[in-house]
Amino acid sequence: MRVDFHTIVVLAGRFIISPIVMVIIVLIGTKVAGVHLDHVFSSTLIIQSATPTFAVMPILATEYHGDVKFATNIVAVASVLFVVVIPVIMIL
């Protein structure tokens, strides 16, 4: 597993930006649109927004002549970090 600048950018998008966007969407839905969301449901949406990338990503990178090593690295690092990130998201 290799962690370089591009890997950090992708992981930040997956584990930081994506949950923040989902929190904003949930808040807009509940406060502005008046949609009632159960706490468990809204928490599930936020956690799901931080799930690791699909394991099929390296296969797709191979099929479409992409960077297979980078795709494999992202899947591996994201899967390992997911164990640490989920408890942090659940606390917040």
Domain boundaries, the chain: 5-91
Round to whole Å and give the CA distance between 53 and 15.
Answer: 10
pLDDT of residue 92: 80
pLDDT of residue 89: 87
Q: How confident is the model at residue 52 (pLDDT cuts 50, 70, 90)?
A: confident
Round to whole Å and give the CA distance between 92 and 83.
Answer: 15
CA torsion sign for 15, 17, 21, 24 is positive
Q: What is the largest CA-CA distance in the chain?
A: 46
Short-list 66, 24, 16, 55, CA closest to 42: 24
For residues 2-14, give the mean pLDDT. Answer: 92
Q: Rounded to two decimals, what is the model's pTM?
A: 0.82
Q: How confident is the model at residue 2 (pLDDT cuts 50, 70, 90)?
A: confident
Round to whole Å and give the CA distance between 43 and 46.
Answer: 5
List, in sequence order, the alpha helices (H) in 1-92: 5-12, 18-27, 39-48, 57-63, 68-91
Taking all residues of the chain, what is their mean pLDDT, rounded to a whole number? 92
